[in-house]
Amino acid sequence: MNFLKYTERFAKNVIGQAMPDIAAKAFLELWQTWDVNFDKASQMVQDDISLVSIIKGNDLIRLKRAVKVSGEPAWFTPEWVVKTISGNSPSVASFFRFDPVAYSWLERQIEEIKNLST
């Protein structure tokens, strides 16, 4: 195997392994920008409002790029989102974790975000 191919494969593997942690920090920054608190999250679930619909300008561009770079991330799941936001938004994390309707809504939002680059 030539050195360049090995280096490229190694870099992809390292980036792939680090992507959930990198994405968690970026997602949390965006989450705080979107100002999603318990009241807002429960209203969005109740009214079935798309999370993507509240993302504006550069945040949407960054999210699309992240999705494109990540490809089809198996780690991007409702559980990952709950874990990611639990430190900063524990009530919202619990809402998604324990309310079946909210969990289902979150699953749909993740699929919508994954499809942004297509």
d(CA 102, CA 41): 9
Cβ-contact 116, 63 below 8 angstroms: yes
Q: Whose CA is closest to 84, among 7, 32, 12? A: 32
Note the pLDDT of residue 15.
58
Note the pLDDT of residue 50.
92
Alpha-carbon distances of 16 from 19, 65, 83, 90, rounded to whole Å: 5, 15, 19, 28
19-56 residue pLDDT tens: 777 778 888 888 888 888 999 999 999 999 998 888 87
Task: Quote the number of domains for the chain.
Answer: 1
Q: Please give the angle made by the CA atoms of 57, 60 and 61, to the nearest 5 degrees.
A: 85
Note the pLDDT of residue 27.
82
The parent domain of residue 101 ranges over 3-117
77-112 residue pLDDT tens: 999 999 999 999 999 999 999 999 999 999 999 988
